[in-house]
Amino acid sequence: MNKIIRIWNQNRGKIIITALVVAFFFIIIRALNDSALKASKERKNNVNESILEEEMPTQSIITGEKVNVEKTKTNVNLIEDFVEKCNSNDIDNAYALLSEGCKETLFPTKERFVKDYYNIIFTENRTTNIENYKNSTKTNTYKVTFYGDVLGTGSISSKDYYQDYITVEKESKKLNINSLIITNEINKKVEQNGIIITIAKQKIYIDYEIYEIRVQNNTDKDICLDTRKSSKTVYATGTDNVKYTAFTNEISSDLYQITSYGSKTYRLKFNKKYNASIATKKVTFTDVVEDYQKYKNENTTERLKLEVAW
C-alpha cells in the first residue's frame, strides 16, 4: 500500500494528464460514434422517404406539380378507406366520407348513393390505381381506376374496371366522387329594368361546370331569358378571358319564358373543363327579351344584356 502511495506521489502529474488524455479520447470516440449513428439514421430516413415518394402519387400526371408526401399519404388513405368500406358493404360509413356538397348535389340520400354509384361500381370487390390528377388551393383531385378480379380472370377488359375522379377537400377532409370537383356558394346577382338574375351556386366537374340560376321577373310583361336562336348567347367567362358557352339546348325553350311577376330556377351547364388555374369570373346573358308577347307577334330584335360577376 505504501508503495502505491509513493508511486502516486512521485507521478501524480503524469497520471492525471494520462487520465485526462484517455478521457478526452473516449469522449471524442463517443461523439464520433453518435454522429455516425445519427447520419446513418438520416440516410435511412431519406431512403425511406424516397421510397415512399416513389410509391405515393405525389406528382400530377397533367401539370407535373407535386404535393408533399405526408399530404398525399393522408389523401390516398382517405380514398382507400372509402373503397374498403364499399368493398365491405359498409354503406353508412362510406356515405359519411362524402362532403356535404357532394351529398346535396349528387346523393341526397344513402339510397341514391347505393343506386347511382355503389351498385354500378362495387358489383365485386375492387382494387384501385390512384393517380394525382390536378391540385388547387382548396382541393386535390385523383384519377382512380377500379379493377375487378384481375388475378382470377388473368386479363383486364372494359367490363372489369371503372374510372372516376375523386377529389379530397382540404378543409373538410371529405370526398367528392363521380367526377365532382367542388361546389361553391356564389350568391351574386344583377338587376336591370325589373329583371333580377342570381347566380346561386357553382358546381365544378371534370368536364363541365353547372350553375344554379334564379331569375325573377318584376315587370308587368312576360320575358324570355334566351330565344335559343344562337348557341353563343349565354356564356361564362374565365380568368383567361375565354368565353365558355352554355348548353342552352338541354333546357326546353318553353322553360326560358317567365311570366309577369314570376320566377324560375335553372341548372345551366357550361362547356368549361376543370382547370385549377383558370376560374370562372362571370356569366353573361345577351339574348334577354323584355316583352315576349311583342317578340312573338312582331319578331322584334331588341335585346337586354345582363351580366353577373363575382
* Domain locations in the chain as residue ranges: 69-178, 182-309
Is the pLDDT confidence value at 237 over 70?
yes
Q: How confident is the model at residue 299 (pLDDT cuts 50, 70, 90)?
A: confident
Instruction: Determine the average pLDDT of the residues in 51-62.
Output: 80
Q: Do domains 69-178 and 182-309 have the same CATH topology?
A: no
The yes/no answer on whether domain 182-309 falls in CATH 3.40.470.10 is: no
pLDDT for the residue 38: 58
Instruction: Determine the average pLDDT of the residues in 269-280.
Output: 97
32: buried, middle or exposed (CB in 10 Å: 19+, 13-18, 0-12)?
Answer: exposed
Sheet arrangement for strand 139-147? 127-135, 139-147, 161-169, 175-176
**Residue for grid cell 359519411:** 96
pLDDT for the residue 192: 98
pLDDT for the residue 55: 79
Instruction: Determine the average pLDDT of the residues in 245-261.
Output: 95
For residue 134, give the nearest of 275, 33, 247 by alpha carbon.
275
pLDDT for the residue 217: 98
What would the grid cell of residue 305 be?
344584356
Is the pLDDT confidence value at 75 over 80?
yes
Q: Percent of the chain scored above 70 by pLDDT?
A: 79
Instruction: Write phi, then psi, for 174 (nearest 5 degrees).
Output: -120, 170
pLDDT for the residue 30: 67
Is the pLDDT confidence value at 47 over 80?
no
Instruction: Determine the average pLDDT of the residues in 89-110.
Output: 98
Instruction: Determine the average pLDDT of the residues in 60-69.
Output: 95
Lowest-confidence region among 35-39, 71-75, 78-82, 169-173:
35-39
pLDDT for the residue 46: 47
Instruction: Write the pLDDT tens digit of every residue in 255-271.
Output: 999 999 999 999 999 99
pLDDT for the residue 44: 44
The yes/no answer on whether domain 69-178 falls in CATH 3.10.450.100 is: yes
Mean pLDDT of the chain: 88
> What count of other Cβ atoms lies within 10 Å of the Cβ of residue 217?
23
β 280-288/234-238 pair status = antiparallel
Question: Residue 164 forms beta bridges with which residues?
Answer: 144
Instruction: Write the pLDDT tens digit of every residue in 211-228.
Output: 999 999 999 999 999 999
16 vs 250: which has the higher pLDDT: 250
**Three-class SS state of 159:** coil
